[in-house]
Amino acid sequence: MRVLLTAAATTALVISGPLTATAADQGPQGPVGGDLLTTKPTVVADGATPPAVQASAYVVADLDTGAVLAAKAPHAKLRPASTLKTLTALVLLPRLKKSDVVTGTDADAGIEGSKVGVYPGLRYSVDLLFKGMFLASGNDAVHALCAHDPGGVEGTIQRMNQKAKEIGALDTTVTDPTGLDADGQYSSAYDLALFAKAGLARPDFAEYASTKFTAFPNVGNKGTYQVANQNKLLFNYDGALGIKTGYTTLARNTFIGAARRNGHTLVVTLMNAPHGITEDATNLLTWTYKNYNQLDPVGTLVKPAAPPPKAAGTAEKKTESGTTQPPRSRTVLNPGQAVQSLALRVPAWAYAGPPVLLLGLFLRRPRSLRRRRH
């Protein structure tokens, strides 16, 4: 009897166990991109000594090969300031039509921080708002773009956090798409390099990042005023591709810059720098190009995770503005999971049924014994 009951209980646990005790994804072991890429404020390079810079953290990497060639505290979680707008762009660019027209609101104009000059009642193309975001780091342009996208600001924040995970930027947490010093908002020099790599793979991102000037309409549509790119690397470094600068009181100066020379596309990211950000970026890029053949990689920029395959018959839907909305998700179970799922729905007492029936057979006395008692 005890043996049968024990077997029944064991069977129930074996069937239900994998569903109730599934181990959580532990993620990669060690620092993302390699063991040498840590949060420690130690400069890491192999083959030559990089110039001293004032930033608390930086990364220099080859975007063509993904090799990290020099780093300092690459995974230190620091405030990104407006360099975070590169991740904002990665989320919004594929979702918004450049020809859409957006009307400025009081909420756009009243936002804190740097502005390009979005005024209530004035009409702007999505294309122009992206230029205002990249060149002038306009928080008002960011707000207008987020508000135009289904889901608004909160939806953009959720998609930014999801996008960061997809491309391996695990140091990043987004709470404000403008990059302002919001509570709990952090990134790293390593993650900024991943944003640059993903961004420059898009022709529209690369074009906005390298645009030097644009014109914005004045109030009342009375002419325009010129807006210049704040990334000074574009104006004084041969082969510069631009990308994004940032500054807040708590983040101090942050920077993402890229250049293409001698068949190599390099990116340099810097965080928490007191001043001289353009000079530091210039020195690091020049040093890397000069010593490129002597440098050995100290890490790598991870590749984005492959997107999950779409189930058959789940076509994406488009909104009236032309943006894409994903289909409703459906869960498909493999045969083993299906059996486990069905087993989990069976009441626990049912597993004891078969042993009880068998018990009756063991307890039933043979006829020969019953006849002897009469």
Residues known to be catalytic: 82, 85, 137
Give CA–CA dist 228/131, Å, rounded.
10
Place of tokens 């993650």: 191
Got the DSSP string for 111-176? Answer: -SS------TT-EEEHHHHHHHHHHS--HHHHHHHHHHSTTHHHHHHHHHHHHHHHTT-TT-B-S-
User: CB–CB of 270/251 below 8 Å?
Assistant: no
Structure-block tokens of residue 146? 């987020």
131 marked as part of a ligand binding site: no
> Where is 6: in which H helix or E strand?
helix 2-20
> Where is 109: in which H helix or E strand?
helix 106-109
Got the DSSP string for 172-237? Answer: -B-S-TT----TT-BB-HHHHHHHHHHHHTSHHHHHHHH--EEEEEPGGG--EEEEE-S-THHHHS
Give CA–CA dist 113/132, Å, rounded.
14
To the nearest 10 degrees (0 to 180), the angle between helices 139-148 and 152-166 is 100
Structure-block tokens of residue 43? 């400069």
Give CA–CA dist 86/96, Å, rounded.
15
User: CB–CB of 205/105 below 8 Å?
Assistant: no
User: CB–CB of 270/293 below 8 Å?
Assistant: no
Give CA–CA dist 354/187, Å, rounded.
58
Return binding residues for substrate: 244
Return binding residues: 244
